[in-house]
A = this chain, B = another copy of it.
């Protein structure tokens, strides 16, 4: 994919800046399940060409919660967190599907951004967008009961995957939502008795989409 599609402000960059981005970008392939980035390293900006990445945090005890996902045409800033002094947190990124990406070295990007108001402002917009994701998450964690959050998660998964039969374990759901596996299993069993889902080994089938949706909207 052409690198310019990631930057709506491409035409506001000068030739040298465009060339620096183009020539420094490296093609990378990540296998499904691969750990791509952990806090501390500063591998560069990830531009997703195809596939799906997951950005999450991990507690000291190893529990996880998903912050946001990155799809085709998304750009990940926090894998280049050394670009900004004030990014004082760690995000972990792994591939949820086989993923192709372009990688722009942090130092190349930072140098262009230092002098280019269009690129700096665009970076601002990308960060504001992630900030919005995280604020939505706080809203969910703080004020929404777990049954509503889980119903919302399942419907969103079905939408992302384009199928009502989800291949996902209860543990994986727990890692997305920041809850222990047992809590997920208990709620899924309750959903099953209510006819909203059908559970079988390794899959969760959404049996009554409307009922699940009604739950999220209560």
Contacts and interface: CB of A to CB of B under 8 A. Distances in A.
Contacts of A178: 142
A129 B86 contact: yes
A61 B142 CA distance: 12
Interface residues of A, number: 39
Contact of A143 (B61, B85, B131): B61
A127 B125 contact: no
B85 A135 contact: no
Nearest to A138: B138
A134 interface: yes
A120 B124 contact: yes
A126 B88 CA distance: 12
Given A120-B121, A123-B124, A131 B132 contact: no
Contacts of A115: 117
A93 to B, nearest CB: 14
A28 interface: no
Interface string A90-131: 000000000000000000000001111100110111111111
Contacts of A120: 117, 120-121, 124
Interface string A174-198: 0000100000000000000000000
Contacts of A135: 57, 89, 134
Nearest to A179: B142
A138 B86 contact: no
27 contacts: A57-B138, A57-B139, A59-B143, A61-B143, A63-B143, A65-B142, A87-B131, A87-B132, A88-B129, A88-B132, A89-B131, A89-B135, A113-B117, A114-B117, A114-B121, A116-B117, A117-B117, A120-B124, A123-B124, A124-B124, A127-B127, A127-B128, A130-B131, A131-B131, A134-B134, A137-B138, A141-B142
